[in-house]
Structure 1
Amino acid sequence: MRTLLFTLLIFFSSISFAQKKLVILGDSITEGYGVSKEAAYPALLERKLHDSGKKDWSVINSGVSGSTTASAVGRMKWLFKTKPDTVLLALGANDGLRGVKVEESQKNLATAIEYAQKEKVRVILAGLYMPPNYGQDYTAQFKKMFSDLSKKYKVTFIPFILDKVAGNPKYNLADGIHPNEEGHKIIADTIFNSLKGTL
């Protein structure tokens, strides 16, 4: 009898964990290009959440290399079949690197946010910056795009998820674009510190 009760206790305890899902919808940075999946920031973020006592959260890495904002809604429609509670929208870097018009990227992100809110999935928007060599006007508009969207749709906003990482050779691979393992640790810290009081 005691064995049965113990088994049931373990079973119900296990299903009480990971009941909440945070999907991170991103590109190669989220995917963890150049590092192991376990060293990419989504896995590190989940570990931080669990260590802080939020063991009922699981973090799903939905990073796909080369993704742009144009893919956001289509991927959401597939991912939302898993019934996530929250989506961290971390797209836009490839738009900027390819010189996509800011208006187009903003429209794509707005459509994605509207879709998520319609599906009752909380949105966290991750801001990104472009390097200065893309021109002052473009970089300013690109940066403003994220803050404007966060205000319009009243979503949780992380101004720059690559804070302290972007442009620092110490925290990036040789390509200067993708974070190394140390860089991913900093990204995980930045996101965790932004969300720990809200999840």
Structure 2
Amino acid sequence: MMKRRQFINRTALAIVGTSLIGCFDHSKFELKKNQVVGCFGDSITFAGGTGGYVEMLQEIFNKEKPELNIKFINFGKSSETVSGLSEEDHPGPRPYLFERLDEILDKNPIDVALFCYGINDGIYGKPSEELFRSFKIGVYSFLEKMRQRDIKTILLTPPPLAERHSGDQNITSYSYKHPYPKYDKEVLEKFTDIILEMQHPYASAEINIRKPLFASQKDCYDKDPIHPNKKGHRLIADTIFGNLSF
């Protein structure tokens, strides 16, 4: 199993040494008949594996575009990151996508990847250039993996951390239990910019799910500031569907 930091460092060198030249068309992405979409993300994507935005997308396509015969597969995993980081208060190291990604792709041929990470990747702490660099490298690393397999990718922005959480300014060790009070504004907004500004030939589309969720957070979140409720998942699914072309 590849050590996390070795992978990140090697990928960082690849990014520094790569010059991406050309025109990046980030208009609406077109799904084609009989394609299989692999959905990668953390617990928000997994959603218990039964009733989140991935499953809702399947229902929408079955109803609205049955002739396309699109299949969505949920590969979400709770607590996972692409940054390879974990906070001290987390029960053990957070799962790291790149420790399972190759095996998933070997066993499950897919045509399109749907990517949604970020809310865990900042480990709920203060912003830093190293933190932003780790997330950017994680996103880029995923896209490089997709390039190797010729899998076009739809990047989703991270969802917000709902404002109703109680942040304690006196805490010095932040975690998912006690997020940094400005985590959404100072970390997740920056992660959103990283996604929306990502320049890579296999970043075929970027969809901003943060904006509608943030605007409707009173309806889309209950007491849990991390995980959207059913209305929130429906809004994510509808936003994705509305940003695709057929």
Give the TM-score normalised by the residue count of structure 2: 0.63
Describe the shift of the 1:19–1:175 C-alpha distance in structure 2 as closer, same or farther (beyond 3 A).
same
* Cross-structure match for 1:115: 145
1:136, CA displacement in angstroms? 5.8
Contact 1:130-1:142 at 8 Å conserved across structures: no
Please state if 1:52 is matched with 2:82.
Answer: no
1:194 has 2:243 as partner:
yes
Using a 3 Å threshold, how does the CA distance of structure 1 residues 114 and 184 change in structure 2: closer, same or farther? same
Cα deviation 1:93-139 (Å, max 9, x = unaligned): 10124347010111111111011111111111111265581386545
Q: Which of 130, 134, 143 in structure 1 is aligned with 2:183? A: 134
Question: Which residues in structure 2 correspond to 1:16-55 (within 5 Å)?
Answer: 19-32=34-47, 37-54=49-66, 55=68
Q: Secondary structure at the match of 1:124?
A: strand
Amino acid at match of 2:112: T
CA distance in 2, matches of 1:95, 1:158: 18
Q: Is the 8 A contact 1:89 1:126 kept in 2?
A: yes
1:3 maps to which residue? Answer: none
Distance 2:53 2:217 in 1: 17
Give the number of aligned pairs.
176
Contact kept? 1:73, 1:115, Cα under 8 Å:
no
- RCO (CA 8 Å, sep 6+): is it higher in 1 or 2? 2
Task: Establish whether residue 158 from structure 1 lines up as the match of residue 206 from structure 2.
Answer: yes
CA deviation profile, 1:2-45 (whole Å, cap 9, x unmatched): xxxxxxxxxxxxxxxx9421011000111115xxx442110110
Helix, strand or coil at the partner of 1:89: strand
C-alpha deviations, 1:48-88, integer Å up to 9, x for none?
11212244211111111100013233332122121111111
Counterpart amino acid of 1:84?
I
Equivalent in the alignment of 2:101:
76
1:62 aligns with 75
Relative to structure 1, is the Cα distance of residues 123 and 93 closer, same or farther in structure 2, using a 3 angstrom cutoff? same
Q: Relative to structure 1, is the Cα distance of residues 60 and 135 closer, same or farther in structure 2, using a 3 angstrom cutoff?
A: closer
Q: Give the corresponding residue for 1:86.
A: 112
Change (3 A) 1:116 1:164: same
Query: Which has a greater percent of helix?
Result: 1
Which structure 1 residue ranges, 5 or more long, are not aligned?
A: 1-17
SS in 1 for 2:138: helix
Q: Is residue 72–residue 109 contact of structure 1 (8 Å, CA) maintained in 2?
A: no
Q: TM-score, normalised by structure 1?
A: 0.77
